[in-house]
Homo-oligomer: A and B are copies of this chain.
């Protein structure tokens, strides 16, 4: 199976470099620019939108969508439900990023509503994935009161059951980001999970690293099935971070070189020549 997975990663990145899929987002004003630059660097294209009819149009005309509620505007109450509906009607796969889950009523309403529209990929840190599974009544993980909202209070391994429950419910993929990333999803109709080591500690010192990963999962979802899309984005994300860390002097130069890495890494680099590689859990 590992061979087919590697070929899937290779083909996904190859297609992105040839087709440059454009994947719109509704995402945080803090990290929009970094998400767009990550999507462009990896070989795709970006378009950030806010309004209902913009969302309805892109849901019809674009191959995938990225939805992140890192910052929430009051008018999302009208636009987001309509956009979710349009994505569903057009069978446009979307990545859901439950960043900040638990903070504010409107974010909770929107994240609860997203359940009915079964995101192709759900990406978050361990605490976010556990909180989403709980919000969707798919698992009642006992957990400590969150105090930071935007960072994980839990280890990736702690979110394994929640990730499984979410993947079984959506039929797509779930990516738990952390020191080692966990990807759970269906590969050839079999629920599969992979652990992806690597990346860089400096990723925790720049804002929007997780959003960048989610945005790239959106690009990958334009040309691949959810599990391979989530895995491809995660592997190139980690390799680019390792590339950047090599001669970065700190988070500022790391951030610039990380985008360079996304741009320079080839399908072969990512699928076959990884220094620190993913592990299939059977």
Binding site for B on A (CB under 8 A): 22, 28-34, 36-37, 40-41, 45-51, 53-54, 57-58, 61, 70-75, 100, 103-107, 147-151, 204-208, 248-253, 255-264
Please name the residue on chain B nearest to A107 by beta carbon: B54
Q: In the bound complex, how far is the Cα of B100 from the Cα of A31, in angstroms?
A: 20
Question: In the bound complex, do residue A251 and residue B41 qualify as a contact, i.e. CB atoms below 8 Å apart?
Answer: yes
Copies of this chain present in the complex amount to 3
Given A51-B72, A207-B33, A249-B260, decide whether A148 and B255 contact each other with a Cβ distance below 8 A. Answer: no
Find A250's partner among B58, B74, B206, B264 (CB 8 Å cutoff): B264
21 A-B pairs with C-beta separation under 8 A = A22-B151, A29-B48, A30-B33, A30-B48, A33-B207, A36-B207, A37-B251, A40-B206, A40-B207, A47-B103, A47-B148, A50-B71, A50-B73, A51-B104, A53-B104, A53-B105, A61-B149, A250-B259, A250-B264, A252-B260, A252-B263
Find A54's partner among B104, B204, B257 (CB 8 Å cutoff): B104
- B residues less than 8 Å from A49 (CB atoms): 71, 103-104
Question: In the bound complex, do residue A50 and residue B30 qualify as a contact, i.e. CB atoms below 8 Å apart?
Answer: no
- B residues less than 8 Å from A51 (CB atoms): 72, 74, 104, 106
